[in-house]
A and B are shown apart, each in its own frame.
Chain A
Amino acid sequence: MVLLALACAAVLLSTTALAVVVPDEARAGLIVYGVCLIASLALFSIALLALLGISDRPSAVTLPLGIPWLGAHFRLDALSAFFLAVVNLGAAAASLFALGYGRHEDAPRRVLPFYPAFLAGMSIVVLADDAFTFLVSWEFMSLSSWALVMAHHRVGDNVRAGYVYLIMASFGTLALLLTFGLLAGADGGYAFADIRGAHPSTAVATSILILALIGAGSKAGLVPLHVWLPLAHPAAPSHVSALMSGVMTKVAVYGFVRIAFDLIGTPAWWWSMVVLALGGITAVMGVLYALMQHDLKRLLAYHTVENIGIIFIGLGLALAFKAHGMAWAAALALTAGLLHVFNHSIFKSLLFFGAGAVLTSTGERDMEHLGGLIHRMPQTAFVFLVGCAAISALPPLNGFVSEWLTFQAILLSPQLPSWGLKLLVPAVGALLALSAALAAACFVKAFGVTFLGRARTPAAERARETDRFSLAAMFFFAALCLVAGILPGFFIDALAPVTEGLVGDRMPVQGSVDWLSIVPIAESRSSYNGLLVFTFMVLSGALAAWAIHRLASDKLRRAPPWDCGYPDANPATQYTASSFAQPIRRVFGTVVFHAREHVEIPPPGDGRPARLTVELRDPVWDALYAPIAGGIAFAADRLNHLQFLTIRQFLSLVFAALVLLLLVLAIWP
């Protein structure tokens, strides 16, 4: 099984060469995205077979690659299979989308060679079974995605985005390198099987966890390590943005889960506090940042930060329950987190596809220049609306199910004995509730300003519906949002082998519950039936429509808008993204972002327009990154003097360095 998966990854890798060789650019695109689609679908079916237990599992293989005495270990267990499925479902849809979207690319050769390499890198990371292979493929994934971010390097701020991404990715990999070094110990093996056998002391294990949080968290976008994400994700072409936001952040979550739940051994109870607090802060900060944006793709990227926070809340709860030996509750919390991994990969990819469709048909990412697209792009508008409703956790779609499960897990936590958690978990619950409500506000803004109202620019006026490949990919994911929302039991059951492997228990079987409800603990405690809620909504809505049209009136007349008698034909009088967010900016932004509004009103008789300027500060950048960047610049300035030394000074410097090294060697025990 794992060999078959590796063969598919090899096919993806060789496609990279194909992209360079094929002379015709349009044909190269067709071939590359076509092969990627097929290979991803093959990998997805392999992962699904392994996850559902149809094939034997776990299957492992060691290939004579990499370091000679180590070789390259690969293994497909339930956890790998789940993430392999998530990665390749997203990859398949992105390839389908790109079959249409890629044709609008100005310089396709900047994208085509790196795209399959990126896909292959992500798949190999989740298959890797030793530290060396993991790190190499992780870095491969980072670098190929960096190349994709730099595809449009002449546009706007993209070079800076690529620079920040490169630094943060290297920093994250460094942290992971140290993590695996500590995990393996001074003379331990680097295969994951050996690492599982080594039991690090508590102090070492704690450092491992912190380093893993930094390494995986910087890739996933945990606050305060998220700074690169809203720069880099929007800079890439939209199908790659979808993959980076929807899928690559999930590979980072995989890295954390693999280390924290599998490799490290039994967790200490207070680790979960760190994870929970980070998750809660990330969720709220991510959505608040998103609310302040008016660039559609950047807004979506900040929302990824929020959802990563929600996922880490689930993981933190699972760690807490696991540390206290409540395996059944840990299974519920972990299932909630992993289900949100799946759900988020679906609707976030869908939303980025939609943003890409808007971008190709209008050339605009700034919502302030859009509006009224629902008339010009009705199908894109519909699927984007489904994605917005799903990510806002509205029933009966899928985002609600995973948040509902997370709330159920939170309600189990008073049974935890430790006081720290007793005080922290309600606060995290409040943060989760706050982020869910703010997310809904944010997506009312995103959809309302982009698709509703009147066109604000001629570009938005001239928009056309996007191509069929893009629409097919989007409709597929929109349908999946509904299916996963109304039949969540099957998706929860599919996660059972993963939780059994990691926390030693599973949620009760959901597939056999009456009426396809989900019952996480007991029916008297809580249950939810998306299918029935959906059916009731459709029935009552249809009943109302039928009754009114039949018995009362179905007449309709078009007229100018009413607007309390003062309609203004100028589309600039509409609410914009910034004005829509103004009340929330006043409530939350003044505290978090030091938001200040300056109004300049010219004196009477002066014909100039009044101006409103809003000033926002990024607290994380100001508190953490600006001092570091300043310190590095300062040190570099000082060290600059070394450039202008005389030859004698250089020689004495070399001599001093030699003496120092010899001294260290002599004193070293």
Chain B
Amino acid sequence: MAVIFDFGVQGAQMLLVLLLAPLLTGFTRKVKARLLLRRGPPLVQPYRDLVRLMRKEVVLADNASWLFRVNPYLIFAATWVAASLVPTFRTGLLFSWSADLIAIVALLGSARFFLALAGLDVGTSFGGIGSSREVMIASLAEPAMIMIIFTLALIAGSTQLSTMAGFLVSSAVGLRVSLGLALLALIMVAIAENARIPVDNPATHLELTMVHEAMVLEYSGRHLALIELSASLKLLLYISLIACLFVPWGLVPSGAGLGLLAIGLVAYIAKLIVAGALLALFETSIAKMRVFRVPEFLGAALMLGLLATLLLFVSRSL
């Protein structure tokens, strides 16, 4: 019985992230529009876009290969699996032990690998520019992320997200310098990974500094829908990750009943709302940076992560 319940919770989590992801994107867009004194599209606009795209035919470039057609499914699968393994409202999910935080980040790395290949497949200059900049950003963002994981793993004594969240919510943690550095670095990495301002602009086409949008330029129809959904899922994943590690209050431990689960769910949605609003506020208050300033930005994140890890190697209490 307990197993079936756990199974249900895991399934609910998978559906939840899939359903909430476009809503989060819509919410962020709405808040951004309101901050700019525009009315903005309705909250459900991303769903409508997805449905419309899925119903349309795919217009495929003449020389696109099978890889180009398989990639959206691969990218979606890797991102969805990664997103369903991050605790959102409840820790200790049924399959949470099948991949720890390093594996989750590596899964996102797989998705990026195939997305960058998709950018090169048709052989256009826009695809190439997007891919080559994407891998440049990733080559600094990924090590920064690994350093953040090291910091958290050394504090919690585990790379398992559930164990980490359980430890970080307990009173044994206290205020630590390394945690502060890790949080700052994680936010920087999250901004870069999700192609947000100031690293990249999610709302632009035909701008020479665009990265993510340039890679997916040749996609249309259901393929584009999957890519957009994956991007929304990735944003949700990073916000859930920050919430589960640094704001773990309200996360329900495993074995809790339905009532507690409902509380956890409400807490999670509240966190998403706050995070989405903060993201929109941040994006409207800052200008996009030149593409060759991005390495400095991410290099700072890498150094922060390394510093946090070093502090922990020197003393367990810092």
- A533 vs chain B, min Cβ distance (A): 6
Residues of A within 8 A of B62 (CB): 558-561
How many A-B residue pairs have C-beta atoms within 8 angstroms? Tell me. Answer: 283
B163 touches A525 (CB 8 A): yes
B159 touches A394 (CB 8 A): no
B160 touches A524 (CB 8 A): yes
- A382 vs chain B, min Cβ distance (A): 9
Residues of A within 8 A of B160 (CB): 524-527
Q: Which of B57, B129, B139, B292 contacts A437 (CB 8 A)?
A: B139
A568: Cβ under 8 A from any B Cβ: yes
Q: CB-defined interface of A578-589 with B at 8 Å, one 1/0 digit per residue?
A: 011111101100
In whole angstroms, what is the CA distance A271 to B128 when docked? 45
A444 touches B120 (CB 8 A): yes
A524 touches B163 (CB 8 A): yes
> Contacts A395-B106, A553-B55, A558-B62 given: A528-B100 contact, CB under 8 Å?
yes
Q: CB-defined interface of B122-158 with A at 8 Å, one 1/0 digit per residue?
A: 1111111101110110111111001100100110011
Residues of B within 8 A of A436 (CB): 142-143, 146
Q: Which of B100, B117, B218, B306 contacts A427 (CB 8 A)?
A: B306
Q: Is chain A's binding surface mostly helix, strand, loop or mixed?
A: helix
- A394 vs chain B, min Cβ distance (A): 4
- A435 vs chain B, min Cβ distance (A): 9
B80 touches A540 (CB 8 A): yes
> Contacts A411-B154, A434-B143, A583-B133 given: A574-B128 contact, CB under 8 Å?
yes
Question: Which residues 431-454 in A have Cβ within 8 Å of B in the complex?
Answer: 433-434, 436-438, 440-441, 443-445, 447-449, 452-454
Residues of A within 8 A of B218 (CB): 561-563
Q: Which of A381, A423, A440 contacts B135 (CB 8 A)?
A: A440
B253: Cβ under 8 A from any A Cβ: no
Residues of B within 8 A of A533 (CB): 81, 98-99, 103, 107
In whole angstroms, what is the CA distance A423 to B310 when docked? 7
Q: Which of B60, B133, B146, B154 contacts A559 (CB 8 A)?
A: B60
Residues of A within 8 A of B129 (CB): 575
- B21 vs chain A, min Cβ distance (A): 14
In whole angstroms, what is the CA distance A414 to B157 when docked? 11
B309: Cβ under 8 A from any A Cβ: yes
> Contacts A444-B131, A557-B58, A583-B136 given: A540-B98 contact, CB under 8 Å?
no
B121: Cβ under 8 A from any A Cβ: yes
Question: Which residues 262-294 in A have Cβ within 8 Å of B in the complex?
Answer: none
A437 touches B55 (CB 8 A): no
A573 touches B125 (CB 8 A): yes
Q: CB-defined interface of A623-665 with B at 8 Å, one 1/0 digit per residue?
A: 0000000000000000000000000000000000000000000
> Contacts A407-B146, A444-B131, A559-B59 given: A452-B65 contact, CB under 8 Å?
yes
In whole angstroms, what is the CA distance A574 to B63 when docked? 13
Q: With CB as the reference atom, state the residue of chain A lying closest to B133.
A: A583
Q: CB-defined interface of B163-174 with A at 8 Å, one 1/0 digit per residue?
A: 100000000000
A545: Cβ under 8 A from any B Cβ: yes
A564 touches B73 (CB 8 A): no
In whole angstroms, what is the CA distance A70 to B292 when docked? 64
B40: Cβ under 8 A from any A Cβ: no
In whole angstroms, what is the CA distance A366 to B312 when docked? 46
A404 touches B103 (CB 8 A): yes
B184: Cβ under 8 A from any A Cβ: no
- B81 vs chain A, min Cβ distance (A): 5
Query: 16 interchain pairs (CB within 8 A)?
Result: A389-B110, A394-B109, A404-B102, A407-B159, A429-B309, A437-B141, A440-B113, A452-B117, A525-B160, A540-B76, A548-B222, A552-B54, A558-B60, A561-B124, A563-B124, A584-B135
